[in-house]
């Protein structure tokens, strides 16, 4: 990965170079995303050694998207649980105040 003065980062993925300019202050996020993609590609290649090129890239991307969807669903469930806990606590406090 190379950086130039204009904030363009050159990423090497599957032997191809891609020039990518991240939004201001997001350079580290770009590097982390590239590292995550490379890890996913390596994992996918280990599981499916005959895959190459676009097929490997698409399957790795689908795996990453699937993981993201699962995380979003877990987050939604946890958020609802916390909201229920807060509502229950507010109800208890309201009842305590009205009785006192």
User: Which residues, other chains included, contact 3 with Cβ-Cβ below 8 Å and sequence gap of 6+?
Assistant: 9, 10, 27
pTM recorded for the entire structure? 0.75
Q: Cα(44)–Cα(67) distance, rounded to whole angstroms? A: 14
pLDDT tens string 34-73: 999 999 999 999 999 999 999 999 999 999 999 999 999 9
- Is 2 in contact with 12 (CB distance < 8 Å)? no
Cα Rg of the chain (Å, integer): 22
Give the pLDDT confidence score for residue 24 in this predicted structure.
86
């Amino acid at each position: 990965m190379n950086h130039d003065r204009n904030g363009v980062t050159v990423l090497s993925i599957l032997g191809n170079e891609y020039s990518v300019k991240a939004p201001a202050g997001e350079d580290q996020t770009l590097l982390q995303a590239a590292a995550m993609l490379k890890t996913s590609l390596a994992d996918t290649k280990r599981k499916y050694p005959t895959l190459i090129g676009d097929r490997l890239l698409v399957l790795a991307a689908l795996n990453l998207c699937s993981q993201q969807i699962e995380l979003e669903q877990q987050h939604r469930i946890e958020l609802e649980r916390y909201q229920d806990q807060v509502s229950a606590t507010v109800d208890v406090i309201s009842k305590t105040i009205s009785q006192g």
